[in-house]
Chain A
Amino acid sequence: MPAAFEVNHMYAAQMKNITKTFGNLVANDDINFELKQGEIHALLGENGAGKTTLMRILYGLYRADAGAIYINEKPVQINSPRDAIDHGVGMVTQHFTLVPPLNVAENVVLGALKSIIIKPKEIEQKVAAASAKFGIPVKPKALVRHLSVGERQRVEILKALFRDARVLIMDEPTAVLVPQEVEALFKSLRELVAKGLSVIFISHKLNEVMTICDRITVLRGGKMAGTVDRIATSEKDLAKMMVGRETFGVKRQDIKTSGNPVLTIDRLNLVDEQGINRLKDITLELRRGEILSLAGVSGNGQAELVKILTGLKKPTSGQVILNACDITGACPAAITIAGMGRTPEDRHSGVVGELTVEENLALESLEDYLKRGVLDRKGIRENARRLIDEYNIKAFPGDKVRTLSGGNMQKVVMARSLSRKPCCVLAAQPTRGLDVGATEYVRGKLLEESERGAGVLLVSEDLEEVLELSDRIAVIYEGRIMGIIPAEEATEEKLGLMMAGVKDQDGEKVS
């Protein structure tokens, strides 16, 4: 990166009057965004506010329906990532755009070299040199599939810098990092900015934004809510701008005293096909009428635990008992019958897109709809109508589920699992990617279920959600339960430490 930057331009990038529509959804509505040279500028907003869409337009992955882009105050046409890269824009995304079977060096130089021939030693040297120059430590020879999340992110950053990026877009970079890695990232960013880089920092985490950014632009529902200097604002103000009101209204009323255990997980272990121990002696007890949350940064074993509890994976050892019924290693159908209502992490793998709403709603309990071997279509339709009403789903029974919005799809999943009035509810990342209204609804439903007497196991990365809803909170780190604490004792700091592997109260580091 040239030390001599053209600092005579005040704005490194500008996006004027950007509008983008997907079908009926207006993702960006006449947005004006300006990035000053040498600043870290946060793009703040809820899930679905339009931040990622706006940045994908800047990077050429989407084409805006209207509006213009300026780089260094000159108008440019960005129709593809190639154009964006040529104009000095780089992007580091949430889903890393790395090719796992290739090594770090190959990934960094991918598409950036003009030469025809590639000599492994040569590119490794080039990458090592770039790594030193920008202060981003990487291992050029390592295969990407063996890297940790933090390491992969560094490779992504180096990739962008290798291509002489002067504007770096970072999309939710801390979502998958533990606190120490976040610190390291912020340090790197400050150093790079001092050398002349300009950064757009997409996030929905207020505290981070207040730590690292100079200016903040807030998007809400596809529209600009405003741009402020960090010095002139506070977390509370930002929250108001993001949401339009004070906070989420859905909150646990009081800490309940809970009843008998409904789900017991006893020393669950999982060793996967690569021989890695993903779950280590997980022991949890969920009681009736309580909401027990499992908090943790994604990738620490939650997904595997959820798969075991939903019947999609068999544990290596240990037991899972639901209501005195041993469901260890049972199949999904059996677990449903035993009394668990399950909401998967990815709602697209919970509903069948090509089938209709009514068919999806009936899918878990087809035996109830058989009349002499034939499907009772009237019964299925009536069931659908009833659930659509009850759960406020904006769709017709005959609509194909893939045409539904994320929030409505999630409602279908919940309606299907909750309508059986299960004694145990497993909700994995239930509000991920949902808008404000849908999130409120889902959280409300979970509270309702606990009030009805069911035990709710909430697996969530959203600490705010965990703190608002739970009666007890368990933290998982590298496959182990770090600790289980009652909600009134939990603070973000305590949970953050546990999520980073620091053991409860004692403050001792684990292995």
Chain B
Amino acid sequence: MSKLRLEKAPAPAWVRPIIPLLAILVTFIITLVFIVWVKANPLHTYYYFLIAPFTSTVTLIELLVKATPLFLTGAAVAFAFRAGYYNIGAEGQLTAGAIIGAWLGVALEGSSAWVALPAMIVGGFLGGVAWALIPALLRVKLKVDEVVTTLLMNSVIVFLVSYLLNGPWRDPISMWPQSPDIAESAKFITLLPRSRLHFGFILGIITILVIWFIISRTAFGLKMRAAGSSAEAARFAGVDVEKTILFTALASGGIAGLAGVGEVAGIHFHLIQGLSSNLGYTGIIVATLGSLNPFGVGIAALFIGLIDTGSLTVSRALGVPVYLGQVVQAALLLVTLGMFLLANYRLKREG
């Protein structure tokens, strides 16, 4: 009697490329349970989830709007992970960028857009860098694991925002916890009239291209990849691993900061609590789905944007709670991870 056994050998070549598609399929089969639970029709649900967003320009633009910060957080996380630096703090770094953006945007009242826009971008970047600094230094100088420190920094900045919004930055008239609106010139230009699609989208795409260039075409990128794959061997070959990781960690923070300033300058125009609805953690999903590859990140960001938009559509049309989107995203992450691993195995007949 012959048995099937899993053996550790690279799977046949045709397996790898279809994994993302398989993962999507499996995920949707799994989430069927939740759809049936609310007595909704699965096919309708998936239609509204995946197809409907494409049918109207409004939802299509909304998809791009949702994907915009994900380009940046996904790129930030992928960049850091590539070098072996597990930046879980994109959430906080993004918020830091948003804080700087909100402050700078008000301070720039009266300046021209030529000055304000670059200032906002640089400011947001530096905000993210600043918030990434402590965990990065702790890792490089004292070998403190960055996973926990970046995680804790995320929690801390929530309090900082609360303080600012309930204290010095509170809107004096409405007493609402939100900061004053930023200057007109500091706002990211809208790309399409009467839409929410803003300059951040372009910024996201540019960032992805820049990241790709750095990783694959520069010496720094090579050092990064070396450090991420085998820090010991990289060190042996003369790479200054500590410096490489430090730069990578800070750059990653800065890119996440860009996402934050984008949300302020492009969507909200002021700072509010909960500006980031898990954008940082979703960035980790995006980076993983995109296999840490810049272009993969771009595609994954669009896909998650689709799911985000779709979940709103589904919620409006069928009354399915909007959180289905988050369930699907997280399930997709887990399934994709699992399938990537299975690609390292091959079925063998035994006996």
Cβ B218 vs Cβ A375 within 8 A: yes
* A312 in complex: contacting residue of B223, B229, B236, B240, CB < 8 Å: B236
Distance (whole angstroms) from the CB of A1 to the closest CB of chain B: 36
Distance (whole angstroms) from the CB of A402 to the closest CB of chain B: 9
Cβ B9 vs Cβ A353 within 8 A: no
Q: Which residues 318-333 in A have Cβ within 8 Å of B in the complex? A: 331-333
Instruction: Report Cα–Cα, A398/B238, bound state, in Å.
Output: 22
Cβ B219 vs Cβ A375 within 8 A: yes
Q: Is B234 located at the chain interface by the 8 A CB criterion?
A: yes
Cβ B238 vs Cβ A333 within 8 A: yes
* A364 in complex: contacting residue of B219, B232, B237, B240, CB < 8 Å: B237
Task: Please encode chain A, from 140 to 153, with 1 for each CB lying within 8 Å of some chain B CB and 0 for all others.
Answer: 00000000000000
- With both beta carbons as reference points, the residue of chain A lying nearest to B216 in the complex is identified as A375
- With both beta carbons as reference points, the residue of chain A lying nearest to B213 in the complex is identified as A374
Q: Is A349 located at the chain interface by the 8 A CB criterion?
A: yes
* A332 in complex: contacting residue of B219, B230, B237, CB < 8 Å: B237
Cβ A354 vs Cβ B234 within 8 A: no
Cβ B233 vs Cβ A352 within 8 A: yes
- With both beta carbons as reference points, the residue of chain B lying nearest to A373 in the complex is identified as B218
Q: Which residues 286-337 in B have Cβ within 8 Å of A in the complex? A: none
Q: Which residues 357-387 in A have Cβ within 8 Å of B in the complex? A: 359-360, 362-364, 366-367, 369-370, 373-375, 377
Distance (whole angstroms) from the CB of A72 to the closest CB of chain B: 25
* B236 in complex: contacting residue of A310, A366, A370, CB < 8 Å: A310
Instruction: Report Cα–Cα, A359/B218, bound state, in Å.
Output: 12
* A352 in complex: contacting residue of B9, B221, B234, B238, CB < 8 Å: B234
Cβ A349 vs Cβ B219 within 8 A: no
Contacts of B223 in A (CB 8 A): 366
Cβ A333 vs Cβ B230 within 8 A: no
Contacts of A351 in B (CB 8 A): 230, 233
Instruction: Report Cα–Cα, A367/B240, bound state, in Å.
Output: 14
Instruction: Tell whether A374 pairs with B222 under 8 Å between CB atoms, given A310-B236, A364-B238.
Output: no
Distance (whole angstroms) from the CB of A62 to the closest CB of chain B: 11
Classify the secondary structure of B's interface with A: helix
Contacts of B229 in A (CB 8 A): 352-355
Instruction: Report Cα–Cα, A360/B9, bound state, in Å.
Output: 24
Instruction: Report Cα–Cα, A454/B148, bound state, in Å.
Output: 49
Q: Is B88 located at the chain interface by the 8 A CB criterion?
A: no
* B219 in complex: contacting residue of A348, A350, A369, CB < 8 Å: A369
Distance (whole angstroms) from the CB of B123 to the closest CB of chain A: 26
Cβ B218 vs Cβ A332 within 8 A: no
Q: Is A480 located at the chain interface by the 8 A CB criterion?
A: no
Contacts of A131 in B (CB 8 A): none
Q: Which residues 251-299 in A have Cβ within 8 Å of B in the complex? A: none
Distance (whole angstroms) from the CB of B298 to the closest CB of chain A: 22
Contacts of B194 in A (CB 8 A): none
Distance (whole angstroms) from the CB of A256 to the closest CB of chain B: 30
Contacts of B232 in A (CB 8 A): 349
* B238 in complex: contacting residue of A363, A369, A374, CB < 8 Å: A363
Contacts of B9 in A (CB 8 A): 23
Distance (whole angstroms) from the CB of B202 to the closest CB of chain A: 24
Q: Is A342 located at the chain interface by the 8 A CB criterion?
A: yes
Instruction: Report Cα–Cα, A336/B239, bound state, in Å.
Output: 11
Q: Which residues 181-203 in B have Cβ within 8 Å of A in the complex? A: none
Cβ A363 vs Cβ B217 within 8 A: no
Contacts of A45 in B (CB 8 A): none
Most chain B beta carbons < 10 A, residue from A23, A360, A362, A375: A375
Q: Is A339 located at the chain interface by the 8 A CB criterion?
A: no
Instruction: Tell whether A363 pairs with B240 under 8 Å between CB atoms, given A332-B235, A374-B217.
Output: no
Q: Is A344 located at the chain interface by the 8 A CB criterion?
A: yes
Distance (whole angstroms) from the CB of B9 to the closest CB of chain A: 6
Interface size on B (CB < 8 Å)? 21
Contacts of A366 in B (CB 8 A): 219, 222-223
Contacts of B222 in A (CB 8 A): 355, 359, 362-363, 366, 375
Q: Is B139 located at the chain interface by the 8 A CB criterion?
A: no
Cβ B233 vs Cβ A349 within 8 A: yes
- With both beta carbons as reference points, the residue of chain A lying nearest to B229 in the complex is identified as A354
Cβ B233 vs Cβ A336 within 8 A: no
Cβ A355 vs Cβ B219 within 8 A: no
Task: Please encode chain B, from 201 to 214, with 1 for each CB lying within 8 Å of some chain A CB and 0 for all others.
Answer: 00000000000000
Q: Is B66 located at the chain interface by the 8 A CB criterion?
A: no
Instruction: Report Cα–Cα, A360/B217, bound state, in Å.
Output: 15
Cβ B238 vs Cβ A355 within 8 A: no
Distance (whole angstroms) from the CB of A87 to the closest CB of chain B: 21
Cβ B230 vs Cβ A353 within 8 A: yes
* A348 in complex: contacting residue of B217, B221, B233, B234, CB < 8 Å: B233
Contacts of A332 in B (CB 8 A): 235-238
Q: Is B136 located at the chain interface by the 8 A CB criterion?
A: no
Instruction: Report Cα–Cα, A377/B217, bound state, in Å.
Output: 8
Q: Is B270 located at the chain interface by the 8 A CB criterion?
A: no
Cβ A352 vs Cβ B230 within 8 A: yes
Task: Please encode chain B, from 232 to 264, with 1 for each CB lying within 8 Å of some chain A CB and 0 for all others.
Answer: 111111111000000000000000000000000
Q: Is B153 located at the chain interface by the 8 A CB criterion?
A: no
Instruction: Tell whether A355 pairs with B226 under 8 Å between CB atoms, given A369-B219, A373-B218, A375-B218.
Output: yes
Q: Is B170 located at the chain interface by the 8 A CB criterion?
A: no
- With both beta carbons as reference points, the residue of chain A lying nearest to B219 in the complex is identified as A366
Cβ A336 vs Cβ B235 within 8 A: no
Contacts of A374 in B (CB 8 A): 217-218
Contacts of B230 in A (CB 8 A): 348-349, 351-354
Cβ A331 vs Cβ B234 within 8 A: no
- With both beta carbons as reference points, the residue of chain B lying nearest to A63 in the complex is identified as B5
Instruction: Report Cα–Cα, A130/B31, bound state, in Å.
Output: 57
- With both beta carbons as reference points, the residue of chain A lying nearest to B348 in the complex is identified as A65
Instruction: Tell whether A352 pairs with B235 under 8 Å between CB atoms, given A333-B240, A370-B219.
Output: no
- With both beta carbons as reference points, the residue of chain B lying nearest to A366 in the complex is identified as B219
Instruction: Report Cα–Cα, A25/B235, bound state, in Å.
Output: 31
Distance (whole angstroms) from the CB of B150 to the closest CB of chain A: 24
Contacts of A377 in B (CB 8 A): 217
Q: In the complex, given contacts A349-B236, A360-B237, A375-B217, what are 15 additional A-B residue pairs having Cβ atoms less than 8 angstroms apart?
A: A23-B9, A331-B240, A332-B236, A332-B237, A349-B230, A351-B230, A352-B225, A352-B226, A355-B222, A364-B237, A366-B222, A367-B219, A370-B219, A373-B218, A375-B222
5 of the cross-chain contacts (CB-CB < 8 Å) are A333-B238, A333-B239, A352-B229, A353-B229, A355-B225
Q: Residues of B with Cβ closer than 8 Å to A?
A: 9, 217-219, 221-223, 225-226, 228-230, 232-240
Q: Residues of A with Cβ closer than 8 Å to B?
A: 23, 310, 312, 331-333, 336, 342, 344, 348-355, 359-360, 362-364, 366-367, 369-370, 373-375, 377, 416
